Structure 1
């Protein structure tokens, strides 16, 4: 590292990290407030309108978790619609709800910073702040009424408490509680619980009681909603009843690796059958699930190939969008550069032998990120659904950049001596 400017920059990062964090925080909030003001009351995506106009308004005005204002439902996971409904009830506008989303993103930035400081990392805490702010899709998503920002916060909090020098009873309980909140926000996170348990078993000798405690504290948070579903519908529904339709959309005759929810054309016949038979949402859920399984059984080679193509698509920098006016070449290029940079940094860490000494924490992040790809591909893989796990990728990339800095900085010190 012969470049004096680069050496000076590293020195500033090393000695002025708190000042940099505060400065970046001011920039973040300035941008968040201005962006939210410019968006006004516009809701650009269909799902935003569902969360706000259907669930949010019905919860606020009628105290009912319902999309039509009359019939209770368990179709969507509850936490984010309930949050919107409560905020509307106490007088929040769309502008205010967006600021809550940005608050969640800011807390994620802060916790990522603190997590890496807890790991005794030198450069990566502030690098992670730069990477999160330099990954604009996170900021963009925080400006939408989507649950991914809140879900990402809960995931990072769970990792924060899970990964400590000593996994105490207190940390296990807190991990489980926030993992439960993440599942009530995004049910796909359910796989994270067995992943945590398996990692605990392989990493060190863990008392069986701690494993039970982690699972129990997770389901303690989920249980009230599951019990509500049982008493209201006389059905066992753990979190939501929309797996079947998503499973079918992700494995229909019209599904491609990258078209995700746009594969509606392949499920229209199944929806018509369900309509003709007057199925309720739970009968539909079972019917759609069975139909998807039958499609896979009838052509296992095609769907086996499609599954691995969807796994590969998990790492894509772009998706086909049904809302065409929200897609553009400039957004794709920006996503290619920012996401591609993190992937390249981590791949270099793997490829260059002397730089690939991964810690157990880094292996944990890698395996969890890869596991999320294989789980997501069961249905379909989309950038929006991947975003909470991209936070783990950012942590990993930050640690990898620090490794490169340390190696080159030490080399420069050796040359000078």
Structure 2
């Protein structure tokens, strides 16, 4: 069972169009992404000035990976839009520290989780940040609780529906355990099989689990959710039994999330070629990491700390899951790297402008 929001979005577009029309779906996603460009500009202009905002907007509009997913009727394009909305609401909360903004951001995060579950733990990370940000403020525990709990409350109607219809308490989607096991088990080596898309199922399908699932024990409740639970238990057992092997693989996968170049970069414009695609990809990575590290004064800025914590959550989640040659499991990292790269480029442009302005006229 997949997350419901993209299916609802697709049904709504087709209902308005009055026909099955994938092109209408893509055009609608394009419109939403163009509007999201306003969020990119507003977010960066509010925190780092016009130069950073213009750089971020240019990357959002021109970077090939973003273009590819906007033209693909899957979850990625709308998920990026929702993430930008959450970040914009978090920015407003970070500046004003009002409970209403905390509620709005947490609710938006809950809605985003119905598109993809990558951010399920993000609210907990923001809650920890809120306790630090609001130290000495009597609202700190209230707002931290909002960030921790409200995103899950948004999921309750979907959870209730799943229990009533299928009998399984599916919070967002039913395949989490299976996907976790695929790249978190004793026989997996990310150096041998870095791309889940070409990873043979025979390499990770656990026959004892499948035999148990097909036994009389699961008669009457043989659902994908139950199979996923069995795989999730195996993941827990593996982590506890072989923590060093798990950590070794995890570190390698984390590195690969930034080092491996998705195929779609070259697919957007074949004339780019593999070298140019790799240059664009690694260039954004290096600029983004430069903006993340930043200057010392940036780390005294709560806004920068919040963005860094958010990026850290999605990087940690991406390393836990598999990598796809399409880049769809790591596209969220490109969004954060885009914002950090814009901060770095904006600072460079501002510094250059100041230098030119300070030069004595002849």
TM-fit CA distance, 1:308: 0.7
TM-fit CA distance, 1:113: 0.8
User: Quick check: 1:112 aligned with 2:40?
Assistant: yes
User: Quick check: 1:237 aligned with 2:170?
Assistant: yes
Mean alpha-carbon deviation: is it higher for 104-113 or for 357-366? 357-366
What runs of 5+ residues in structure 2 fail to find an aligned partner? none
Closer/same/farther in 2, CA of residues 130 and 303 from structure 1, 3 Å limit: same
Instruction: Find the counterpart in structure 2 of residue 259 from structure 1.
Output: 195
Q: Please, what TM-score do these two structures have when normalized by structure 1? A: 0.73
Closer/same/farther in 2, CA of residues 325 and 128 from structure 1, 3 Å limit: closer
Mean alpha-carbon deviation: is it higher for 133-142 or for 117-126? 117-126
Q: Which has the higher contact order (CA 8 A, sep 6+)?
A: 2
Q: Distance in 2 between matches of 1:287 and 1:327?
A: 42
CA contact 1:373–1:381 (8 Å) conserved in 2: no
Instruction: Find the counterpart in structure 1 of residue 156 from structure 2.
Output: 223
Cα offsets for 1:246-277 (capped at 9, x unmatched): 01112242452522343323223447436633
Q: Distance in 2 between matches of 1:340 and 1:332?
A: 12
Closer/same/farther in 2, CA of residues 415 and 166 from structure 1, 3 Å limit: same
CA contact 1:362–1:396 (8 Å) conserved in 2: no
Closer/same/farther in 2, CA of residues 85 and 346 from structure 1, 3 Å limit: closer
Find the partner of 2:307 among 365, 368, 372. Answer: 365
Instruction: Find the counterpart in structure 2 of residue 143 from structure 1.
Output: 71
Instruction: Find the counterpart in structure 1 of residue 339 from structure 2.
Output: 395
What runs of 5+ residues in structure 1 fail to find an aligned partner? 1-74
TM-fit CA distance, 1:356: 5.0
Q: 1:6-405 counterparts in 2 under 5 A? A: 75-89=1-15, 90-119=18-47, 121-164=49-92, 165-205=95-135, 206=137, 207=139, 208-252=141-185, 253-256=187-190, 258-263=194-199, 264-270=201-207, 272-273=210-211, 276-277=214-215, 279-319=222-262, 330=272, 332-348=274-290, 355=295, 357-358=297-298, 359-382=301-324, 383-405=327-349
Closer/same/farther in 2, CA of residues 393 and 95 from structure 1, 3 Å limit: same
| Structure 1 runs, 4 residues or longer, greater than 6 Å off | 324-329
Closer/same/farther in 2, CA of residues 330 and 409 from structure 1, 3 Å limit: closer
Q: Please, what TM-score do these two structures have when normalized by structure 2? A: 0.83
Closer/same/farther in 2, CA of residues 381 and 280 from structure 1, 3 Å limit: same
